[in-house]
Amino acid sequence: MNLFEGEKIELKGSVAPSIPNATKDDINDKYIRGDIRIVTEQARYPLSTIVTMLDSGDYNLNPEFQRRRRWSRLKQSKLIESFIMNVPIPPIFLYEVTYSQYEVMDGLQRLTAISEFYKDKFMLTGLDQWPELNGMNYANLPDQVRRGIDRRYLSSIILLQETARDPYEADRLKQLVFERINSGGDKLEPQESRNALYNGPLNQLCIKLARTDSFCKMWGIPTEDDLEKISTPVQANLPFEDAELSDLEDDSSSEILHGNALYRKMQDVELVLRFFAYRQLADVEQGRLRDFLDAYLKKGNRMKTEILVNLESLFRETIDFVYDVLGDRAFFLLRKKRNGQWLWYERPTKVLYDPMMFAFSRYIDKKTVLIEKSGAIKEGLERLYQEKADAFKGRSTNKEDILQRMKIMNDFLCSFLE
């Protein structure tokens, strides 16, 4: 693989710094110095003040630590019901960026639910302990219930500015806290963790490129044009993968986009990252692919701007090239069923995406010739998937399997240039 000048990065693992042959006195001194110690304070906010608090502009609700996931109206309603019953609610976590200016590290969904309820943006639904309140918004709640909610508080833990000695230390400690407070509850997807722990220029580039029109079409993610045309999730005819997302009521493009599992879990961003990282896959030691992607993103964020510009151009050209030759079903695989019949998968697969993107990226200068042979290439792929069925098994995901598929796909495309 021909890399851009300066693109090559060292991908060997690193370990946290430690004191060689540390004695107990050394460890005690480290603790006394407070080398790694979080400085916090606690606060309580009456629910009735949350709207004013968020509208003040003093709270950043969308730092990179947040996920793309969005609570459904059912889950928001359940939170309000918990406040009505005075069920203890976990505290939110804030980081003091400057004096009286905060980032919401954890708790965005709770704050959003409370704010939207007080603004009468939704009616309660799915309540099982207080079913009498289903269909009511804040304004038309019975007086006693409304006053009861107003008396409730949301607790917070604030990481103070003096926690860190400089901006770099601040980022490191924020990421550390985020990882620890998200070790329970809903499990973070790999790319959600990377987004929080290794955010930087390369991560932001992957997020931007995941909205590329041809990429979205091939992975079944609503494009920007789709979002402009669609007014409701029903019209979008989008599959909602879980019950909590099936009751979305808003007809905003945000609701529609969050109804897509790939987008919601940031798997689309990981796919872009894989394209860049796998350009150097042959040079890394064997190990978990997740660890490889973590290391690549962490160190790739330090790439020079001109390298990122080249990578962006390469991705856009490659994904459009694949789309021009194979259309929106480019990553659909032909597999043999137990009855011996060959059938096409009804969804795109990573097992094809990785080698196909790798191969097409190597022949961009032959784009005109290969686009003209689109029909023959499609027919040839159908034969290839049958002849090389063992190589394209979905569970074969180690380094050597991926490299083998890359070679197969590269040789296949090359055959149309002979």
Q: At 178, which helix (H) or strand (E)? A: helix 167-181
In angstroms, the Cα distances linking 246 to 128, 240, 242 are 18, 6, 7
Distance CA 67, CA 265 (A): 8
User: CA–CA separation, 321 vs 326, rounded Å?
Assistant: 9
**Residue 221 included in any domain:** no
For residue 159, the enclosing domain spans 38-185
Least confident of 341-355, 372-386, 393-407: 393-407
At residue 234, does pLDDT exceed 70? no
Confidence of residue 290 (pLDDT cuts 50, 70, 90): confident
How confident is the model over 321-331, as a mean pLDDT? 97
Least confident stretch, 177-186, 320-329, 387-396? 177-186
Q: Is residue 142 part of a domain?
A: yes
- What are residue 102's DSSP bridge partners? 59, 96
What pLDDT score does 194 carry?
87
Mean pLDDT (the chain) is 86
What CA–CA distances, in Å, run from 8 to 80, 107, 199? Answer: 51, 38, 20
Q: Is the pLDDT of residue 185 over 80?
A: no
State how many domains the chain has: 1
As a whole number of angstroms, the distance between CA 352 and CA 401 comes to 12
48 within domain boundaries: yes
With a pLDDT cut of 70, the percent of the chain lying above it is 84
Give whichever of 94-108, 126-140, 173-187, 283-297 has the largest mean pLDDT.
126-140
- Residue 2 placed within a domain: no
Residue 106 lies in a domain: yes
Residue 10 has pLDDT above 90, yes or no: no
Using the predicted structure, report yes or no on whether residue 236 has a pLDDT greater than 50. Answer: no
Spell out the alpha helix ranges (H) of 182-232. Answer: 190-197, 201-209, 213-219, 224-229
Q: Is 84 a domain residue?
A: yes
Q: Is residue 385 part of a domain?
A: no
Please indicate, yes or no, if residue 141 is contained in any of the structural domains. Answer: yes
Say yes or no to pLDDT of 315 above 70: yes
